[in-house]
Amino acid sequence: MTARTLNIAMHGVTGRMGTNQHYIRSILAIMRQGGVTLAGGERLFVNPILVGRSESKLRHLAETVAQREIGRSVDWTTDLDSTLTDPSVDIVFDASSTLQRAAVVRRAAEHGKAVYCEKPIATKACEAYALADAVEAAGVKNGVVQDKLWLPGMRKLRMLRDQGFFGRILSVRAEFGYWVFSGHNAEQPAQRPSWNYRREDGGGIMIDMFCHWEYMIGDLFGKIDRVLAHASIDLPERIDESGKPYPCTADDSAYAIFVLDNGVTCQFNSSWATRVRRDDLLTVQVDGTHGSAVAGLRECWIQPSGATPKPVWNPDIVQPIDFFQGWQQVPSATEYDNAFKIQWELFLKHCAGEGDFPWSIRRGAAGVALAEAGEQSVADQCWIKL
């Protein structure tokens, strides 16, 4: 059996998502399983090079964490410029702050590297599409993380759709979010970075989550035709990482109605200022003529037409129906791997010449365009057609 190795420069993975999902649960997990097997039997191995500004954080991830996970250390450097021009580097991955991303991806592509990055790829649609143009002109393989497509709950929704469970889909309602502590109480420190709440640093829940909703809706339900949105800054002040208060300039709640080309209406609420009383941090309810389903990140519950109760409006008596009963949990018919890891493996195979990869930089730009349309809808207080 032949083998080859792809060298991956991982920039900006010292943050929570980069460390846990991309580095530990994807790349180190792929290394631990012995790489990826291509269709012809060739074994594809990966070699990460961690890139960032903090020597202490990089050394911890490259030595302590790697020793724990795979039994050896990996390479690291604070010299991004040299890494981008290093001829031995095959892929550059970026999970740094949004405002840095386009410049890193563009420079990597100019030096012939395959590029893979987190989203959003920019804060403005014109910048996102210009980046797509540049990457395509460079002729390099490219992709954007669209991890929610491989969450077990969303995969179960897709299975139900493909089996015709819903009949004609009528509407979709999604609730996303949780309470992010402001940090004013030392016993309840903030669990998200402060830049998320500063517009000037690329923050905001609309630019963050609408990029997810664009590909989720497009993959599961249809192309978005128009959007009506509202956003707000619910907590005007938060405490940053140094313990100092700062004014919040980016929205922490956003509400939208998306109408699809096929007539389906999708309502998506996103908030970092809401307390959770539902099955999961993200729930997606799909109502159809033949049945309904509610999916969380991992689980999914269904209620077919024949098992639907018949409620009667009567506020003068205690509600006799327990609406959480009468739903059947969809069994897990297969083993569900980490969603980020699944897409990483697909991208690695694509870079090795096996399989298409439709989740490109241009596909990621569509998410930025939707967020921008949402912001325009908020400003103009009207429907925005895409």
CB–CB of 19/60 below 8 Å?
A: no
Q: How many CB atoms lie within 10 A of CB 34?
A: 10
Residue 74: the pLDDT is: 98
- Is 252 found in the same domain as 116? no
Buried b / exposed e along 241-269 (16+ C-beta atoms within 10 A): eeeeeeebebbbbbbbebbbeeebebebe
Kindly report, residue by residue over 9-39, the tens digit of the pLDDT. 999 999 999 999 999 999 999 999 999 999 9
Indicate if 167 and 234 belong to the same structural domain: yes
Rounded to an integer, what distance in angstroms lies between the CA atom of residue 223 and that of residue 148?
17
- Per-residue pLDDT, averaged over 33-51, amounts to 96
Residues 111 and 158 in one domain: no
- Pair 73, 169 in one domain: no
pLDDT of the residue at 333: 86
Residue 159 lies in a domain: yes
Query: Are residues 314 and 349 part of one domain?
Result: no
The model's confidence at residue 129, banded by pLDDT at 50, 70 and 90, is very high
In a domain, 362, yes or no: no
pLDDT at residue 314 tops 90: yes
Q: Which amino acid is at 126?
A: C
Whether residue 348 has pLDDT greater than 80: yes
Q: What is the share, in percent, of the chain residues with pLDDT greater than 90?
A: 98
In Å, how far are 94, 97, 135, 290 from 117, measured between CA atoms? 5, 11, 12, 39
Check whether residue 268 and residue 193 sit in a common domain. yes
pLDDT-derived band of residue 97, with 50, 70 and 90 as boundaries? confident
CA 323-228-289 angle, to 5 degrees, is: 40
**32: Cα separation from own chain's centroid:** 24
Indicate the average pLDDT of the chain: 97
Residue 363 lies in a domain: no
In a domain, 117, yes or no: yes
Do you find a cis peptide bond into 120, omega within 30 degrees of 0? yes
Residue 229: the pLDDT is 98
- My answer on whether 273 and 139 are in the same domain is no
| Chain mean position to CA 162 | 23
* 231 falls within a domain: yes
Task: Give 2's pLDDT tier (boundaries 50, 70, 90).
Answer: confident
**Mean pLDDT throughout 342-357?**
97
Adjacent-strand bridge partners of 226: 259, 385
274-309 pLDDT, tens per residue?
Answer: 999 999 999 999 999 999 999 999 999 999 999 999
Dump pLDDT digits (tens) for 154-206. 999 999 999 999 999 999 999 999 999 999 999 999 999 999 999 999 999 99
Is 67 part of a structural domain of the chain?
yes
What percentage of the chain exceeds 70 in pLDDT? 100
pTM metric for this prediction: 0.94
Q: Which of 362, 345, 355 is nearest to 91 (CA)?
A: 345
Q: What is the 3-state secondary structure (H, E, C) of the chain?
A: CCEEEEEEEEECCCCHHHHHHHHHHHHHHHHHCCCEECCCCCEEEEEEEEECCCHHHHHHHHHHHHHHHHCCCCEEECCHHHHHHCCCCCEEEECCCHHHHHHHHHHHHHCCCEEEECCCCCCCHHHHHHHHHHHHHHCCCEEECCHHHHCHHHHHHHHHHHCCCCCCEEEEEEEEECECCCCCCCCCCCCCCHHHHCHHHCCCHHHHHHHHHHHHHHHHCCCEEEEEEEEECCCCEEECCCCCEEECCCCCEEEEEEEECCCCEEEEEEECECCCCCCCCEEEEEEECCEEEEECCCCEEEEEHHHCCCCCCCCCCCCCCCCCCCCEECCCCCCCCCHHHHHHHHHHHHHCCCCCCCCCHHHHHHHHHHHHHHHHHHHHCCCEEC
User: Mean pLDDT across the stretch 140-151?
Assistant: 98
Domain containing residue 114: CATH number: 3.40.50.720
Same structural domain for residues 290 and 375? yes
CA distance 216 to 172: 12
The answer to the question of residue 290 being in a domain is yes
Q: Which domain holds residue 168?
A: 148-336+368-385
Domain count along the chain: 2
Instruction: Please give the span between the terminal C-alpha atoms of the chain, in angstroms, as a whole number.
Output: 49
Assess whether 344 and 292 both reside in one domain.
no
Give the CATH number of the domain where residue 294 resides: 3.30.360.10
One domain for residues 290 and 319: yes
Task: Verify that 160 and 104 share a domain, yes or no.
Answer: no
> Do 161 and 134 share a structural domain?
no
Q: Residue 125 falls within a domain, yes or no?
A: yes
- Confidence band for 1, pLDDT divided at 50, 70 and 90: low
For the segment 259-268, the average pLDDT, to the nearest whole number, is 98
Task: Tell me what pLDDT residue 85 has.
Answer: 96
